[in-house]
Each structure stands twice: as C-alpha cells, then as structure tokens.
Structure 1
C-alpha cells in the first residue's frame, strides 16, 4: 500500500508538469496501469487452483447391483430371513476413488431391528440405517471385514471394487458401533437391521466432508435364497 501511495504521489506531480491536452490521456493510461498492478498483486496472493480442488466434492458412479433379505423371524412367513442374509451389494463403476474415512451411507425403507435389552422385543416400521464411514472400525469383523477385505486394504473404494453391506455389520460387545439404526425415529436399537422383501429401499452415498450426495439409488428388496 505504501508503494501504491508513492506511485500516486509521483503521478500527481507528473500530470501537473505535462501540457494540458496531454495530461488527461497520460493520466488515464497510468491509472489503468495502476489498476492492473493492484489486481495482479491480489490474485498472486490467492491459490485459485488449489482452492477449487479442495472444494470440489468427489464424483463417482455407484451401481446398486443387488439387494436381498427379508425380516428376521421364526414365524412361518416366506419373507422372514436372518439379519446376516440382508445384503446390499454396491459397485464402483467409475470416477474418483472414495476415501473410506470420509464417505458415509444412508439407507431407508421398511424393516426392523430389535432392542438391545432382553425381552423388549422387535421394532418394526420405517427403518433408517446410517454408516458413519466405510472403514472397518466400529463394525463386525465377522461380516463387514470378511465381505470387504479387498476393498478395505488400501483405505479407499476404487473403480471396479464392490462394497457389501450386511444387516449384521454393527459392532458387537462393548465396541461402539459406527453403524446406527433407528426404527420410526427410535434409535434405542441393537444397530442390526433387516429390510422386508418386496419393499423399496433408498440408498445414498454421501461425502461427509462436503455433505454432498455423490450417488442415490433405489431398489426393491428380493427374498434371500
């Protein structure tokens, strides 16, 4: 700013010493030059390319390959299957690699979970399942880790890799689960889930950092074999 002030000071005396007819023209040219210099100084302090890159959400094409299951139960109903047989298979078909730490998944539909306290029974209704992230922390290694071992190895979900979600993915024992399940808004559940065969689910892939929906898919739950 000091340099700019000096330049304006010199310009003032220069214009006073010039002939009257020439002074306005030279003054306009010099003011235009000052404007370019000032704008250039501002732009040079900002890394525009880096800022755009950091703000851009990941772009990926995700296909919901299959969705099968039913609701857990022992009653003689053809739609009743076990939580571990509720499986959703997703394929990364193109675009950016997705960091397992910054991608979450939300699934909604009709189904059930159960309360973690013995004797309190099964909860049925509008089911909301939320995977806080896609890494193996806070998940059941007997299902999530085994089903997704190849995808989890390098910390990212890459093109050509499948991701398998299972109704038993929630952590067991005293480990805090990174899979959250609620039924009709009641989140006092075991965090296991089952979707009823023949009903539709909606699944969203979300960039947790930018809170952008990367992909949204719908599918009808088929009865597990």
Structure 2
C-alpha cells in the first residue's frame, strides 16, 4: 500500500505541475506566432503599396479647344472641307505628363474616308466613322501634317501641361509606310486611313491610356464647318 500511495502521489504531482511547466513554452510559441503574423502583414502592406505605385493610372485634364471639318469630296460644295482642314485641337491643362507612345485617341461620328487614293481613282465611303490613333508619336504619321503641327509636343516624347496636340484628317502616313492612324467606315477598315467629319454633327473623342486601358478624358463636340 505504501508503494501504491507513493506512486499515486508522484503522478498527482506530475499532473498538477505540468500546466505550470508548459505555460512558458505556450507563451513563447504564441509570441513567436504573433511576430510572424505582424511580419506578414507588414510585408503585404509594402507589396500592395508598391503595386499601386507601379500601376498608377495617369491623370490629366484634357480639353477640346476647337473642332472643325467637313466631308471631303462628297455632298454640296458649301459643306465640304479638305482633309487637312478637319482639325481637332486638344489642350493639356493639368495633371500628369502623358507619354506619347502609351496614349491613344479614338474619335467617333458621322463622316467619310476613301478606298484607294483620294483624287486619283479612289472611291469615297460615308457612314459611321471610327478614327483610331494607335499612339501619339511621330511614327506612322504624315510628316507634313501631324509632325509639323505637333513639333513642340513631339520634341521630348511627352505631352506636357500647357502643350497643344493637333489632329487632322491627313495625319495617316503615306502609302509606303504602315500608318498608326486607322480609319473605318461602318466597320470597314479597308480605307486610306484619312477622314473628314460632317459639319453640324456630334463627335465623341476619347483619350486613352494604352497600358492601363483607362479613359483619361472623354469629350464631345459639334463639328464646325472649316473656314
């Protein structure tokens, strides 16, 4: 009986004292777990912050100063305009400088383009006009129109605050060079990539960040007949 009592006493002591011995270990493990959780939260916060910085959309205030034009080669003479007289003047009034190689412009409205060469056997196409400037750099553009009109803006590759951008119906490159201006009429993009918008009709112009695919500016205007 003495031996049984001694055995029982030892086991009761062990059961009683075990929680007290385990407490420091459990506390250390909990503290270590908290450290890992905090470290993970801080790392996630830094990564998310970096992601926002890297993929931040450019923001700019772009206004449409003027919008003039007319159909080319079709309709009454009083409503016609030459391709180069179809002009849209845009002004960068504030916000981020816009890299010319990563900004595109889309214009929609009623107008016309050509299949073939205008004035040399080409045939006019009239209808819902879609004009797409793939980028705003000088590549694939007409050097005597787009480049001449925008020489100051093109100089450093950025469209900065206070600078104008002039678009015109003759901005597409000559036939020997692939144009970065694409024009379609009623979904038909087999055109000469030139354009004229009918005076008195409304156009919609979007300035788009090509990388983020977000619209930087959206403007609507009524086309005024070119003088």
Same fold (TM over 0.5): yes
Alpha-carbon distance in 1 for matches of 2:129, 2:225: 18
Question: For each residue in 1:41-75, what CA deviation from the matched residue of structure 2 results, as whole angstroms up to 9, or x when unmatched?
Answer: 57448643321111111011100111001001276
1:149 to 132, 151, 155: 151
Runs of 4+ in 1 over 6 A off after TM superposition: none
1:76 Cα deviation after fit? 4.0
Instruction: Give runs of aligned pairs for residues 101-180 of structure 1, distance below 5 A.
Output: 101-116=101-116, 119-180=121-182
In structure 1, distance between residues paired with 2:55 and 2:40: 23
Gaps of 5+ in 1: 1-15
Deviation at 1:79, TM superposition (A): 1.2
Q: How does 1:8-47 map to 2 (within 5 A)?
A: 20=19, 23=22, 27=26, 30-41=29-40, 43-44=42-43, 47=47
Please tell me whether residue 78 in structure 1 is matched to residue 78 in structure 2: yes
TM-score (structure 1 length as normaliser): 0.85
CA distance in 1 between counterparts of 2:66 and 2:79 reads 17
1:222 is the counterpart of 2:224: yes
CA deviation vs aligned residue, 1:151-204 (integer Å, no higher than 9, x gap): 000001011100000000000131000000000000000000000000000000
Supply the distance in 2 between the matched residues of 1:60 and 1:25 (Cα, whole angstroms).
59
- Between Structure 1 and Structure 2, the one with more helix by share is 2
Range with greater deviation from structure 2 (77-86 or 45-54): 45-54
1:33–1:145 distance in 2 versus 1, CA, 3 Å: same
> Which blocks of at least 5 consecutive residues in structure 2 are unaligned?
1-14
Q: CA deviation at 1:32?
A: 4.6
Across the two proteins, how many residue pairs are aligned to each other? 210
RMSD: 2.5
Q: What TM-score, normalized by structure 2, do the two folds share?
A: 0.84
TM superposition shift of 1:108? 0.3
Partner of 1:194: 196
> Greater CA deviation, 46-55 or 132-141?
46-55
